[in-house]
């Protein structure tokens, strides 16, 4: 009984850590731009977010750490990738976005008497206070903050389903799946999966569970609870967006769309409810990710950098960066995520099926090929036409890196000779 209760509490906490700024504003937007075909975009979004989360937690829990996953492509390559991911997860992108979204959706619709600088100081001051003791983070979120968040979200979604705002626009389905994938990447949930998994397992240990296999099993069950919650909430929010597809187009900002939907459903009281939802969604994410990022850099520096000092630095830097605003942070994030997400997905999937991939060179050359195509995708998106990448298989689904990854893996398997193998051959020859 206690075990099940602990799994549910950690699952709720995990849901809140993942359900932050992007998770709230992206589903209504893909629903609005998809209209009657909102399920197509929704499927892409869920695969790129929940699917990757569950695969990554499974891989990391079994491998022991995220470095044991990405490091298979080379120690320096894996460490560089992980550091970049954690910086994006932390002070550069995700954590600042939580404060920016809270300001734009919780504060501005209600009052203009407080500016973003003052708000960000208050937001990250509270984050600092609630993050400074890492062993308490999951309980604070899971027991107290998540239930409030879920109740508020449930009320908004049920109202939107029972009393739709408008008709669903008949939209062409071309490109909607890829759009959903792209928006799913933008949530950036999978970036810090190594630190999140470590935090989950550490939380179970602090509750007295010492068997590592049991901890891994409990972590995976908690992840399933969080994943199920995310899918249900995403579906509800995407449908709400679809109900206003005849009223707005893609020129409306994502935050403004969510405010307008809530206002149409519940009026002024709805704006207050939205403020509560956003505040708790973003605060729980900020607390969880600040803890995860600080713990990661403390560990990677062999405790030369202190957890409390890192928490303070992350809060101060994020406080400054959050004043860029949501749209600018999203614009900065897009090319970075396009580069690092595919190679991360590749290494996670290969790690899960590692019994089929024995040679390190297979991981390396698959990763290098994926990274190369991802960089070309970004260059192409900036207006430098690189036509051949559009002719690669699965390009329409956003997976044009898959064939190059397979080719890279085959080169690593059949052409590249491992150093150890060469040394053995030399000894035999001698």
Question: pLDDT tens-digit profile of 93-134?
Answer: 888 988 888 888 888 887 777 888 999 999 999 899 888 765
Contact indicator for 244, 265 with CB cutoff of 8 Å: no
Given CA atoms 136, 139, 142, 148 in this order, what sign does their dihedral have? negative
Instruction: Tally helices (H) and strands (E) across the chain.
Output: 19, 0
Say what the pLDDT of residue 424 is: 39
pLDDT digits (tens, 9 = 90+) for 325-337: 877 887 887 788 8
Look over the chain and give the mean of its residue pLDDT values, rounded to a whole number: 83
Per DSSP, the residues of 5-46 read HHHHHHHHHHHHHHSSHHHHHHHHHHHHHHGGGHHHHHHHHH
Residue that is written with structure tokens 């120690």 in the block: 75
Distance, CA of 122 to CA of 133 (rounded, Å): 19
Residue that is written with structure tokens 């002070």 in the block: 91
Say what the pLDDT of residue 371 is: 94
Report percent pLDDT > 90 for the chain: 20
Is 98 buried (19+), middle (13-18) or exposed (0-12) by CB count in 10 A? buried
Domains in the chain (CATH in brackets) are 2-327 (1.10.4160.10), 357-430 (no CATH)
| pTM for this predicted structure | 0.74
């Amino acid at each position: 009984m206690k075990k099940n209760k602990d799994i549910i509490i950690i699952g709720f906490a995990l849901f809140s850590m993942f359900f932050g700024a992007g998770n709230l504003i992206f589903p209504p937007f893909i629903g609005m731009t998809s209209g009657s075909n909102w399920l197509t975009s929704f499927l892409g979004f869920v695969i790129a977010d929940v699917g990757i989360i569950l695969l990554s937690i499974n891989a990391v829990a079994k491998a022991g750490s995220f470095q044991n996953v990405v490091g298979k492509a080379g120690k320096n390559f894996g460490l560089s990738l992980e550091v970049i991911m954690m910086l994006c997860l932390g002070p550069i992108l995700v954590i600042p976005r939580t404060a920016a979204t809270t300001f734009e959706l919780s504060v501005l619709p209600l009052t203009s008497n407080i500016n973003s600088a003052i708000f960000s100081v208050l937001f990250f001051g509270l984050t600092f206070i609630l993050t400074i003791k890492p062993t308490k983070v999951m309980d604070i979120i899971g027991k107290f903050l998540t239930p409030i968040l879920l109740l508020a979200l449930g009320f908004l979604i049920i109202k939107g389903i029972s009393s739709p705002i408008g008709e669903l626009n008949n939209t062409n389905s071309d490109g909607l799946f890829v759009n959903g994938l792209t928006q799913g990447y933008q949530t950036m949930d999978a970036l810090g999966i190594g630190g999140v998994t470590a935090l989950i397992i550490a939380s179970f240990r602090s509750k007295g569970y010492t068997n590592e296999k049991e901890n891994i099993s409990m972590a995976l069950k908690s992840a399933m609870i969080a994943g199920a919650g995310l899918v249900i909430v995403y579906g509800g929010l995407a449908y709400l967006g679809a109900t206003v597809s005849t009223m707005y187009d893609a020129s409306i900002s994502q935050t403004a769309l969510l405010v307008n939907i809530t206002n149409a459903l519940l009026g002024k009281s709805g704006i207050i409810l939205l403020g509560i939802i956003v505040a708790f969604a973003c605060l729980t994410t900020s607390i969880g990710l600040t803890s995860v990022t600080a713990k990661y850099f403390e560990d990677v520096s062999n405790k030369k950098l202190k957890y409390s000092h890192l928490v303070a630095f992350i809060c101060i830097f994020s406080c400054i960066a959050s004043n860029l605003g949501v749209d600018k942070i999203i614009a900065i994030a897009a090319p970075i995520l396009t580069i690092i997400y595919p190679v991360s997905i590749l290494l996670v999937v290969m790690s899960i099926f590692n019994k089929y991939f024995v040679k390190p060179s297979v991981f390396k050359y698959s990763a290098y090929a994926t990274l190369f195509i991802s960089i070309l995708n970004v260059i192409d998106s900036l207006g430098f036409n690189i036509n051949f990448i559009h002719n690669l298989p699965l390009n329409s689904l956003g997976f044009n890196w898959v064939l190059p990854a397979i080719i890279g893996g085959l080169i690593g398997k059949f052409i590249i000779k491992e150093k150890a193998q060469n040394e053995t051959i030399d000894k035999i020859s001698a």
